[in-house]
Structure 1
Amino acid sequence: MKVTLLGVGGSAGLPQIGGPGGFGDWGKTDPAEPRNRRTRSSIVIESTENKRILVDTSPDLRLQLIACGIGRIDALVYTHAHADHIAGLDEIRILNRLLGAPLPAYTDTCTWGELYQRFDYAFRPFSGGFFYRPVLVPHTVEPGNIVEIQGLPARFINQDHGTMRSLGLRVENLAYCTDVVRLDETALEALENLDVLVIDCFTPGPIHPTHANLATVLGWVERLRPRRTVLTHLGPDMDYQHLRATLPAGVEPGYDGMVIEA
């Protein structure tokens, strides 16, 4: 498998709106480091048969796919219904055209309910012809399910996102766990024996109500001992070079466009 991190930023991206003269607020990160420029969190998983699974449709999806040279998507997974993970859904219209078909999509009952309410037009019956709107074919999954998606066995993991639940995703020996603040024992057991763990890590210190901080993530790493851990959903206090210099061996910050072979 190949995994491309389309974006590794928090819900506001980086730089955030504001800052000196309105040209961007970089928080505690160095604006001269290009890997501190972050779009909203999303990934593409590509199988050895060149089938591609997109996880979440961020508001930055069009530019992300172009920047990473990804011109076709075969299936879609949603982790949850927060705006930074679904607001790019309209870009699916062009992906429908490139695929020449409605796009199969997978998420849980709660997330489908939110998507039906906000994007009802994406679920109307498709009678063929030109894709003038996004067209999704919904498949409902629940935590604990193992579902074959484009030839890959995808295991869905129940995650605590503070104010709601989110879905983690394990495909073979790689797991993607964004937007999580706590993992219960069942979730941790599902993440054992990993080669690669891509994990939410929003802040270096203070406890956050909806996202894991660095101490929490390092505790999970100590428990799970994946071969490689890559941090995503990084907040404005998470400077790339500082993290590179201070993280323990086997743990590293992600960046937009990063490619992971698994």
Structure 2
Amino acid sequence: MNMNITILGNGDSMGTPRVYCECPVCAEARTSGANVRLRSSVWLETEGEAPLLVDCGPDWRTQMESLGVRQVRHGLLTHAHFDHIGGLAEWADACRWREETARLYGPAEVLAEVDERFPWLGSRLLATTNDDGMAYGDWRIRTWKVNHGKNGFSYAYRFDDAGRGVAWAYCPDSINLTEAQKAPLRGVSLLVLGTSYYHEPYPMETRSLYDVVEGLALVEELAVPSAVFTHLSHDIDVRRDYGLPAHVRLAHAGLVLTV
């Protein structure tokens, strides 16, 4: 079965505009709004299954309102940084008001960190480890640890429909992937990759994500036929033509991709 992937948020940890910033991109985001970016998250749908939320950041409520959704039954986590888990308390509270529970999937160490920070969530968001993979309709989901630079680690996800021989991957927070970490990205038809800046000028030891230039090199190396760059910082101005190749584009809220 096809999978529809809706981009709910395409921003970095601070979003755009940044409260403290008056750069041209943040200024534009406050006026015409083309550069407004919520924190990174995606919404997955496939026939016969309840939708699956990937990451639940502090913009969760706004994102659910944009979808017109009143219930979230399943979610995946990539890691336990605030921009990816900051909406969990709101989600759990929504479940409480609806007198229901939801299922939260993630690697064991990610779920353990969430439980340490939010020990009261477990009564409404039932934690289920997925280190050994999980099924979602006809799709098999695999997760693996990736380098997140100065921010430690994150996890990426690969989604395979073996019956159709298609796959795609979601890797929003990574940099300097090792050969072993790149291996699951090979052979996918779509890669959604985090690229914070266009060309990040800071020392490598201070960085946590690929930039667009590095992302393009990775896409070429992996021979990925289609790529979408997300987790964009306020360095990226969507009004600018970056000369991206035809098979690469920048994510925006509401973008729907079908695999």
Please give the range of the TM-score, normalised by the shorter of the 2 chains. 0.7 to 0.9
Encode CA deviations 1:218-253: one digit per residue, 9 max, x unaligned: 11100222221111000111111325x511120100
2:122 maps to a residue whose letter is: F
Query: What is the distance in 1 between the residues matched to 2:245 and 2:128?
Result: 39
Corresponding residue number in structure 2 for 1:4? 6
Alignment partner of 1:179 out of 173, 181, 188:
173
Q: Indicate how the Cα distance of structure 1 residues 226 and 98 shifts in structure 2: closer, same or farther if over 3 A, else same.
A: farther
Matched, 1:203 2:210: no
Structure 1: tracts of 5 or more residues without a match: 125-134
Q: Indicate how the Cα distance of structure 1 residues 197 and 100 shifts in structure 2: closer, same or farther if over 3 A, else same.
A: farther
Deviation at 1:180, TM superposition (A): 0.8
Corresponding residue number in structure 2 for 1:111? 110
Alignment partner of 2:19 out of 14, 17, 20:
17
Alignment of 1:1-262 (within 5 A): 1-19=3-21, 27=25, 30-31=28-29, 34-93=33-92, 96=95, 101-124=100-123, 135-142=124-131, 145-149=132-136, 152-162=139-149, 163-172=151-160, 173-206=167-200, 209-243=207-241, 245-262=242-259
Q: Indicate how the Cα distance of structure 1 residues 70 and 184 shifts in structure 2: closer, same or farther if over 3 A, else same.
A: farther
Query: What is the distance in 2 between the residues matched to 1:147 and 1:29?
Result: 43
Q: Provide TM-score, normalisation by structure 1.
A: 0.85
Query: What is the distance in 2 between the residues matched to 1:150 and 1:242?
Result: 39
CA contact (8 A) 2:145 2:156 kept: yes
Q: Residue 240 of structure 1 aligns to a residue in which SS?
A: coil
Q: Residue 176 of structure 2 aligns to a residue in which SS?
A: coil
* Same amino acid, percent of matched pairs: 28
Query: What is the distance in 2 between the residues matched to 1:176 and 1:29?
Result: 30
Query: What is the distance in 2 between the residues matched to 1:59 and 1:250?
Result: 31
Query: What is the distance in 2 between the residues matched to 1:71 and 1:99?
Result: 10
Deviation at 1:70, TM superposition (A): 3.2
Q: Provide TM-score, normalisation by structure 2.
A: 0.86
Deviation at 1:9, TM superposition (A): 0.4
Query: What is the distance in 2 between the residues matched to 1:73 and 1:150?
Result: 17
Encode CA deviations 1:15-59: one digit per residue, 9 max, x unaligned: 010245xxxx55478436534100111111111224211111110
Deviation at 1:150, TM superposition (A): 5.3
CA contact (8 A) 1:35 1:256 kept: no
Q: Indicate how the Cα distance of structure 1 residues 194 and 256 shifts in structure 2: closer, same or farther if over 3 A, else same.
A: same
Query: What is the distance in 2 between the residues matched to 1:259 and 1:250?
Result: 15
